[in-house]
Amino acid sequence: MQGLAPSSKLSLTVVVVVFLLGMAGAAHGLTRVVANSPDEPCMNMTLYYHDILYNGNNTANATTAAATKPTALATTYWKNSTYFGALMVFNDPMTVGRALPLAGEEPAARAQGFYFYDKQESLTSWFGFSIVFNSTANKGTLNLVGADLMGDATRDFSVVSGTGDFFMARGVATIRTDAIEGLYYFRLQMDIKLYECYV
Amino acid sequence: MQGLAPSSKLSLTVVVVVFLLGMAGAAHGLTRVVANSPDEPCMNMTLYYHDILYNGNNTANATTAAATKPTALATTYWKNSTYFGALMVFNDPMTVGRALPLAGEEPAARAQGFYFYDKQESLTSWFGFSIVFNSTANKGTLNLVGADLMGDATRDFSVVSGTGDFFMARGVATIRTDAIEGLYYFRLQMDIKLYECYV
Amino acid sequence: MQGLAPSSKLSLTVVVVVFLLGMAGAAHGLTRVVANSPDEPCMNMTLYYHDILYNGNNTANATTAAATKPTALATTYWKNSTYFGALMVFNDPMTVGRALPLAGEEPAARAQGFYFYDKQESLTSWFGFSIVFNSTANKGTLNLVGADLMGDATRDFSVVSGTGDFFMARGVATIRTDAIEGLYYFRLQMDIKLYECYV
């Protein structure tokens, strides 16, 4: 699992539905592709996001840390808290399969950004982050924002743009909680579909 | 005011200016629409955003809480502070009219996200949030970011993307401060115009 | 350097590659332009971003302040810290040349937003901000997000949208660290290329 290497591993599919525009000047050999409908993404991939929270004792492994404490409001409603106002900053590995990278192994990508809990009555959060690819197979970033409505079986983030291999991309990432282990680890499955690409 | 129910209530207008592209594969029956100009949004709506800040005593009603205090820099300039550095996290009701939802009534949508004050000399802030629709009339999210230049009569946020009923939408939300009541409540009118839609 | 005044100063280039669509209704005289390839931006500009951090004694000049302290995790790895979890809020001047604005001089634009450090082992950060133009030459905002991979010679932010003169713009901003002076000042060169414009 060294990076995304063969695109088959990534189950990455490129569907070319080219805009009927002049192709003059496409010196990089790149052409803009825009999906006609939600059924025709121009690129597909599934990645797993591993959030390993700092618990005070896991300095070597932790990739997420709390920048702020929950507000007083978070603890008044539930004894166990909904963490309202807790801001978490992360630099999390993303992998093609469910397993964490082995020691010394590079993940397929890293998710760099933040989330914070934003409701008094229930667990819900908001994310802003980049998926940073830096392997022989892929270089570049995808930038995402969106609400993580944790009570829903699936929920959607927006891929608002991209750089490098993902130049000017747009799309949707559908999120599913794949595992929760105690208070300090959770894993999200992210099915990323791009509807605007340069290919 | 149970959700957005009749779209007339939302003053939602859909103008179809279809891209002259092949329609093959539009299995969802959705077609991409891009406005030719700022005069031709493909969707329009007005919603009111209610920010009800936690004041230490309003646990049952508060929907916003301060995650950080203003920095030392915020209080050196003005005695009453410009709150520079204060990060506020919110899960605010949004309504079609100006009134707050009645007890037990669902708002048209919820705004989930954050703002923070970002200037020493004057009140100005920056927002990142999702408008989450979860009614019989509308399901999905709009994701917005932008500077709230509070000294201006109106200012614009960007709608950077959307999901669900607002799949891949883009547009502009024009903001106007509609009411300020003391230190713990303000209401913004948001005129949202989308210029890229799938309809 | 009063604002962006003559566009030549900004080295702003507008390349018109008009979409072959009906022009009906373009009452503002604006037309949507989308680049066919990364070689054909519809607008170009270079601006310098000046980050002047509050050090406890520079109230008159500081434009950035720390809203949170680095987490415990940030200091366990490096004695000098990678600042993991430190959230910085800014309202920084942006200029056409490298020099800071003279006293009383308006900068070409202001960058309003935040960054935070997001890794234990090395210096890397994540930005969300607006470039706010308010001169006779330009009015409006560009909204950007992205990872600042500080170890790379250049790195890319995404311009996710714009308002006013930059209505619905999209593009890429390539960042280069242009100067670092001690712990309380750094300057970034931002080469901004837009690939979607209304002109």
Looking at residue A78, what is its pLDDT?
Answer: 64
On whether the CB atoms of residues B139 and B164 are closer than 8 A, the answer is: yes
Looking at residue C59, what is its pLDDT?
Answer: 87
For B158, which of C66, C114, C163 is closest by C-beta distance? C163
Chain A residues near residue B91 by CB distance under 8 angstroms: 118-120, 124
**Buried-exposed string A29-56: b where 16+ CB fall within 10 A, e elsewhere:** ebbbbbbbbbebbbbbbbbbbbbbbbee
For C141, which of B87, B146, B159 is closest by C-beta distance? B146
Question: Would you list the DSSP string of B20-52?
Answer: SS--TT-TTS--EEE-SSTT--SEEEEEEEEEE
Return phi, psi of residue B6, to 5°.
Answer: -70, 130
Looking at residue A77, what is its pLDDT?
Answer: 63
Residues of C within an 8 Å Cβ radius of B: 21-28, 30-32, 54, 56, 59, 62-63, 65-68, 87, 89-91, 112-114, 128-130, 132, 140-141, 143, 145, 160-164, 167-168, 198
Q: Looking at the domain assignment, is residue C6 inside a domain?
A: no
Q: In terms of CA atoms, which chain C residue is nearest residue A19?
A: C36
Burial of A102 from C-beta contacts in 10 A (0-12 / 13-18 / 19+) = exposed
Q: Which among B169, C44, B43 is positioned nearest to A170, based on CA atoms?
A: B169
- How far apart are the C-alpha atoms of C119 and A92, rounded to whole Å? 9
Looking at residue C125, what is its pLDDT?
Answer: 97
**Domains contained in chain A, number:** 1
Contact flag C65-B72 (C-beta cutoff 8 Å): yes
Q: Taking residues C27-42, what's their average pLDDT?
A: 83
Q: Looking at the domain assignment, is residue B19 inside a domain?
A: no
Q: Looking at the domain assignment, is residue A140 inside a domain?
A: yes
- How far apart are the C-alpha atoms of C56 and C35, rounded to whole Å? 46
Q: Taking residues C75-85, what's their average pLDDT?
A: 76
Position with higher pLDDT, C175 vs C56: C175
Of chain A, the percentage scoring pLDDT greater than 70 comes to: 82
Looking at residue C23, what is its pLDDT?
Answer: 36
Q: Is the pLDDT reported for residue C185 higher than 70?
A: yes
Chain B residues near residue C196 by CB distance under 8 angstroms: none
Q: How far is B96 from chain A (nearest CA, A)?
A: 21
Q: Is the pLDDT reported for residue C27 higher than 80?
A: no
Position with higher pLDDT, C42 vs B19: C42
Interface predicted TM-score (ipTM): 0.87
Q: State which residues form the domain around B126.
A: 32-166+193-198
Q: Looking at the domain assignment, is residue C11 inside a domain?
A: no
Q: Looking at the domain assignment, is residue B15 inside a domain?
A: no
Contact flag A73-B90 (C-beta cutoff 8 Å): no
Q: What is the pTM of this model?
A: 0.89
Looking at residue C80, what is its pLDDT?
Answer: 63
Q: Looking at the domain assignment, is residue B64 inside a domain?
A: yes
Looking at residue B72, what is its pLDDT?
Answer: 77
Looking at residue A27, what is its pLDDT?
Answer: 45
Chain B residues near residue A170 by CB distance under 8 angstroms: 161, 168
Q: Taking residues C66-95, what's their average pLDDT?
A: 86
Looking at residue A12, what is its pLDDT?
Answer: 47
Contact flag C73-A62 (C-beta cutoff 8 Å): yes
Q: What is the mean pLDDT of chain A?
A: 85
Contact flag C30-B40 (C-beta cutoff 8 Å): no
Chain C residues near residue A59 by CB distance under 8 angstroms: 73, 76-77, 120
Q: Which two tokens stand for residue C197?
A: 């414009």
Q: Looking at the domain assignment, is residue A8 inside a domain?
A: no
**10-residue averages of pLDDT along chain A (199 residues):** 37 40 48 87 97 92 92 70 92 97 93 95 95 95 98 97 97 98 95 95
Q: Looking at the domain assignment, is residue C104 inside a domain?
A: yes
**How crowded is residue C182: how many other Cβ atoms within 10 Å of its Cβ?**
8
With cut-offs at 50, 70 and 90, classify the pLDDT of residue C65: very high
pLDDT tens digits, one per residue of A10-52: 444 444 333 333 333 334 678 899 988 888 899 999 999 999 9
**10-residue averages of pLDDT along chain B (199 residues):** 38 41 48 87 97 92 92 70 92 97 93 95 95 95 98 97 97 98 95 95
Contact flag A38-B167 (C-beta cutoff 8 Å): yes
